[in-house]
Structure formats: C-alpha cells, structure tokens
Amino acid sequence: MRRKTSDCLATVKDTALDLVLNALEAIRDRGEKLPSASRISLDRLGRQVIVDAPASRAQPTSNKEALLAPIRARVSVCEKCPHLARTRTQTVFGVGNPDAELMFIGEAPGADEDARGEPFVGRAGQLLTRIIETMGFARSEVYIANVLKCRPDMPRGSAGNRPPTPVEMQTCLPYLTEQIDIIQPKVLVALGATAVEGLLGTRGVMRELRGKWHSHQDTPLMITYHPSYLLRNQSPSEKRKVWEDMLQVLERLERPITEKQRNYFR
C-alpha cells in the first residue's frame, strides 16, 4: 500500500514538473523576458527530476511499528507460562517510539502495569519517567520494555511482587530479543539485576556492574539501579549514582548536556 502511494506521489510530482518545464519553455519560445530559462538550465532542471526522483520516493517513516505488531499480537495470546497466562489481566508488551535511540529494560509488570497494559506506570514508573524527562527526552521518545511480559503471579491474597524465575525468563526472553532487534537502539539501559540477568545472562553484584558500559550483542548497554531501589533507598548518593549513569548515556548518544543537568542530585 505504502509503495503504491509513494509511486503515485512521485507520478504527481513528475507531472507537476512537466507542467513547469512546459510553461518555462513556452515563455522562452514566446521571447518574453521573465522568467528567463536558458536551454541549459531547462536541461539541468529536467535532469534534476530524474536524479531527485528516487530520493523523493523514500518514506521518512520507518516500518518498525509494523514489524513489532505481529510480535505484540503473539505476546498478547502467549500461554507458554500457563500459570502466568491464567493470572494476568493482560500482557505488557512495551511502549514508546519504535525508532528510539534509547531503550530501557525493566523486570516485569507490577500490579499497575498488569491493570494498564503499559510498562512502568506505577510508582517506580513515575520515577523512571522523571529520570527520562530530566535527561531531556519525552517518555514517548524512548522505548520501554520488560524482560517478562506477564505479571509474576503471587500466592492468593498476598500483595507485592516476586522476581521472575529463571524458567519464566528463559521462556519470555525471545520476545525481548525480537523487540531489540527491530528497534536497534543506539543505547540500551538495564534497570536492575533482573534486566542484567536477562540481557547478559549473568547474576552480578549491582554495585559493581552499574555505571559501566557493557554490550548486548553489538549494542552498548549501560547498567543502573532499578527505580524501585531508589524508592526503597532514598539517599541522595544513590540517586546521584543513577544520574551519573544517565549522564554517561547522554554522552554516548552525543546529546547536549547543560551545566544544570551535570549538577543534578549533587
């Protein structure tokens, strides 16, 4: 469909240029003064049409959204973890810009995310959104996804969250890998230990892993603390650490950083 539309537009453009060329030629042939168009410039203009045409047909919009759609559809009916398929309200695929340069990876949906169908919308999510905005991005400019697309089930009547099991992670990870392969962000950010385990396959000490560049396939990966860790541990020094990690991300993306941004949480 898209190709047809662009071919059609190109035809219209060619027709329009033909009209312009004909009009200029008519003016020249009648010997009128303005506008002047020599044979050489008309010839150049004519050639320009041919040279420009392929570029003018290129669509500025990418097809990443279209590539993500079938994966989202498969996820929405996934029953590979029957216990999670039974207990979830809905799957939580991911949110944001499919053309994002920056992609955040969290752990799994919590109760709020399970209810809304969108990652990071609860308390930790609000903090993540603030971090993203402080970096100078709108939430809608980046992409946000989790290792697990279902909320980890909790025993009847118990509140809170549990981390995904290794089997749940192995089962769900191919979806995340597909998302990353399509989006191809310039930088990935792993939020917390579960994201690290999912992306790197290692269970390390967050204190040692964070703040350093790692890589996932060929994509630079920054590891930082999970926003819920910052909610549990309100000390300014921990906030500053996450912020320093995000400054490294901004540098890697070659984004401008203001003096004010450099000094946040100091």
User: Under a CB-based contact definition with an 8 Å cutoff, are residues 141 and 84 in contact?
Assistant: no
Which is closer to ligand URA, CB of 96 or CB of 122? 122
The beta-strand segments (E) located in the chain are 95-96, 102-106, 143-146, 187-191, 213-216, 219-224
Query: Which H or E element spans position 24?
Result: helix 2-29
Which is closer to ligand URA, CB of 21 or CB of 206? 206
Which residue in 13, 229, 255, 261 binds ligand URA (CB under 6 A)? 229
- The gap from C-alpha 7 to its chain's centroid, in whole angstroms, comes to 29
Distance CA 140, CA 100 (A): 9
110 sits near ligand URA (criterion: CB under 6 A) = yes
Smallest distance from ligand URA to CB 83, Å: 19
Token output for 72: 């989202």
Distance CA 73, CA 65 (A): 12
Q: Give the strand pairing for 143-146 and 213-216.
A: unpaired
Which residue in 81, 180, 188, 193 binds ligand URA (CB under 6 A)? 193
124 sits near ligand URA (criterion: CB under 6 A) = yes
Hunting for tokens 């944001």 — which residue is that? 96
| Footprint of ligand URA on 138-157 (CB under 6 A) | 146
Which residue in 42, 78, 111, 206 binds ligand URA (CB under 6 A)? 206
Q: Name the one range near ligand URA by CB under 6 A: 3-11, 76-84, 114-122, 175-183.
A: 114-122
List Cβ neighbours of 157 (8 Å cut-off, separation of 6 or more). Answer: none
Q: Name the one range near ligand URA by CB under 6 A: 23-31, 56-64, 100-108, 170-178.
A: 100-108
Neighbours of 92 (CB within 10 A): 29
Smallest distance from ligand URA to CB 134, Å: 18
115 sits near ligand URA (criterion: CB under 6 A) = no
Which residue in 94, 98, 113, 216 binds ligand URA (CB under 6 A)? 113
- The gap from C-alpha 26 to its chain's centroid, in whole angstroms, comes to 52
Smallest distance from ligand URA to CB 163, Å: 8
What is the binding site for ligand URA (CB under 6 A)?
A: 106-110, 113, 119-120, 122, 124-125, 146, 192-193, 206, 225-226, 229
